[in-house]
Structure 1
Amino acid sequence: PSADDQSLRDVDATDDGRVVWFAGDGGALGRYDVEEGRLTDHSAPEDQTSTWTAIAVVGRAGAERVHLANGSGELLKGTYDDGDVAWGEIRKPGSGSSITDLAFDDAVGYACDSSQGVYATTDGANYETIGIEDANTDFAALAATDAELVVAGGDGTVFRYDGSVWTTLRAGETALRAIDLTDETGLAAGDAGGVFERANGGWTSVETPTDADLQGILVGAAGRERSDVAVGTSGTIVERDRS
């Protein structure tokens, strides 16, 4: 198997931005060295050819750790070294529902699935369930900082976890598809051009020039020439200057 002609579903980069990993259907998995312009096919790790639904990369190029999730609720960790990847054992923390998103910071990581499950790990291999009871919605995305974790729900709800307690906040009435978080602020995006910004302990609607369904969002950085960006269906890209 290879990444050729396969739909790709997620992408992430090493901490220094020198290497980009991407994953998708049919076990497709690739590594692109930005500086050298070299693309390497790592598809079907451990003979896994199911669809990779999410990927998270941790560490600097050349010694990065790659975390993969698939539509069968399975998680796989690999460590890159000198052109090869040493893969660990397949883990299935939940009931087998599709893992929809991953978020990692060093060894601390989180995953969410389509059946209201959220999982945490401190070694990238062993996961424990941390929520969410009575959520009554599916989970599309999550994001984390050192202080908190947020999960975007399909009914417009944002769930926040401070390490011990879950709290629930309503962002809007449309389904949320993506979320991003920094120490200073957060953004969530979803159907019908919906974007919501965290402010004063809650989430408020932000006007956008589109009614496309938004499926990805990134918080910009004031003073660093990086705007807030959201992407969605039909090639939609919207941005907002944060300076």
Structure 2
Amino acid sequence: MTPREPPAWQTVETPARNTLYGVTVFGSGAVAVGESGVVFGRPNGEGWQPIIEHGPAGNSRTLAAVAATGEGARVWFAGESGAVGTYDVAGAVKRDFSNVDGIDADWQAVAVTGAANEETVYLATDEGAVLRLSIVDRSLEVGEFVRPPTLATGLAGLEALDDGRLVVLSRGGRLFVTEDREQWTTVQFQPDEFVDVAAQSAAGNQKSATSGDVGADGEAITAIRAPGEGYRYADGDSFSFPFGQPTLTAVSAAVGRTVAVGTGGGVYRRAPDGWVTVTTDNDRTLRDVAAVPAGDEGGARDVAVGAAGTILERGGIPDGTADWSEPPGGDDEEGGSIY
């Protein structure tokens, strides 16, 4: 049985009522997305508040995933029927890129690398097809779809590493890693019910693995199965580890720590000798989690989101340096495009 530790995660009162499917945390706050296109923000340590109510196109398409640029200046989100949008923290600038190039796919995952206006964005469908978007000279460039050659059971998770590699996990437990999106390294885990992946490159990554578990070159990948089992892949080797009896839904990591969530308000923290079940004050299903490295004062910041607008936090969101209400410089206007 996974050991328990005293309460650390607390439910936060918010205006959110719809199920939330994705969350990202960055230097000046956090953003969560979900059912009917809702986007909630938590700026500069203030309370959670709606920043978009009906999706980027205003048609209430559910948003499934969210990710921020490296410095947290811009947030990308994506979801059903081709919904894609961005939110710039400074100036609250919202942009709609839904159905880019006429694509109306149901996006299940999004990953972002690089700083705003130089970022690379990956959007993935439930079938595991991945579309690459790039910002070059303040213009949006749309690449071609790529798909791991033997992915046959649907997408479980997607990660984009800061060194340029792409990590794709299938629900059937097949892990794919590529540098050029043509040649793929493949690892086969237990062949069913995988739900998410978190990875770290030697160059570092926002979703990094527990420092004690990374390989000699600083790389590690953590994959989880819904029935309560995880896999660690590093230095070309993999091993499994049990969580006990939970039903898992998502995993995230930060330097020195890894966190998974699941049904019944379940939160699970990686410890040196295994996994610890964290006591929470909520019993609703959690759909996503964002773990963030400890700050200069040593405090870790984590956020989990889920059913009926549930938001749990550990450590709170500290004051940031960006003013979410201050208009940006230059010629940018709300609702316009800089690309």
The answer for the alignment partner of 1:189 in structure 2 is: 261
Q: Aligned letter for 2:123?
A: L
| One-letter amino acid matched to 1:231 | V
CA distance in structure 1 between the partners assigned to 2:228 and 2:305 by the alignment = 18
Q: Structure 2 CA distance, aligned partners of 1:96 and 1:43?
A: 27
Structure 1 residue 100 corresponds to structure 2 residue 172: no
The CA deviation at 1:66 is: 0.5
Where does residue 33 of structure 2 map in the other structure? none
The alpha carbon displacement at 1:53 in A equals: 0.3
- SS of structure 1 residue aligned to 2:144: coil
TM-score (norm 1): 0.90
Q: Deviations over 1:2-26 (max 9, x none)?
A: 7332111111111011111110111
Task: Tell me, in whole angstroms, the C-alpha distance in 1 between the residues paired with 2:259 and 2:141.
Answer: 35
- 1:224-239 alignment to 2 at 5 Å? 226-239=300-313
- Give the equivalent residue in structure 1 for 2:184: 128
Deviations 1:184-206 (A, max 9, x none): 11111111111111112421211
1:112-142 residue CA offsets vs partner (Å, 9 max, x unmatched): 122222211224x335252224x14322111
CA drift at 1:100: 2.9
Deviation at 1:95, TM superposition (A): 3.4
CA 1:139/1:127 → structure 2, altered by over 3 Å: closer, same or farther?
Answer: farther
Supply the distance in 1 between the matched residues of 2:93 and 2:309 (Cα, whole angstroms): 27
The count of corresponding residues between Structure 1 and Structure 2 is 239
1:4 paired with 2:58, answer yes
Deviations 1:92-121 (A, max 9, x none): 114354323211222022111222222112
For residues 241 and 18 of structure 1, do their structure 2 counterparts lie closer, same or farther at Cα, with a shift above 3 Å needed? closer
Shift of 1:46: 3.6
Quick one: distance in 1 between partners of 2:171 and 2:161? 22
Name structure 2 gaps, 5 residues minimum: 1-55, 202-218, 317-339
Note the 1:10-25 alignment, pairs <5 A. Answer: 10-25=65-80
Matching residue within 222, 227, 230 for 1:158: 230
Q: Matched residues in 2 for 1:172 and 1:138: separation?
A: 16
1:42 is matched with: 97
Percentage of pairs with the same residue? 31
Indicate the structure whose relative CO is greater, using CA pairs within 8 Å and at least 6 residues apart.
Answer: 2
SS of match in other structure, 1:90? strand
| TM-score (ref. length: structure 2) | 0.66
What's the RMSD between the two structures over aligned residues?
A: 2.0
SS class of match (1:72): coil
Within a 5 Å distance, the mapping from 1:204-243 to structure 2 comes to 204-220=276-292, 221=294, 223=297, 226-241=300-315
Q: Is the 8 A contact 1:175 1:190 kept in 2?
A: yes
Q: What letter corresponds to residue 58 of structure 2 in structure 1?
A: D
**Whole-angstrom CA distance in 1 between matches of 2:302 and 2:95:** 31
Query: What's the offset of the Cα at 1:71?
Result: 1.6
**Secondary structure in structure 2 of the residue aligned to 1:219:** strand
Counterpart residue number, 2:144: 89
Evaluate the alpha carbon distance shift between residue 111 and residue 201 of structure 1 in structure 2; reply closer, same or farther with a 3 A threshold: farther
Name the larger-Rg structure.
Answer: 2
Query: How many angstroms does 1:224 deviate by?
Result: 5.9
Larger displacement relative to structure 2 (53-62 or 85-94): 85-94
Report the counterpart of residue 119 of structure 1 in structure 2. Answer: 176
| Aligned partners of 1:188 and 1:197 also within 8 Å | yes
Q: Distance in 1 between matches of 2:138 and 2:77?
A: 16
Give the counterpart letter for 1:186 in structure 2: T
Aligned residue for 1:192, secondary structure, equals helix
State whether residues 100 and 113 of structure 1, in contact with CA within 8 Å, keep that contact through their aligned partners in structure 2. yes
Paired residues of 1:71 and 1:97 also in contact (CA < 8 A): no
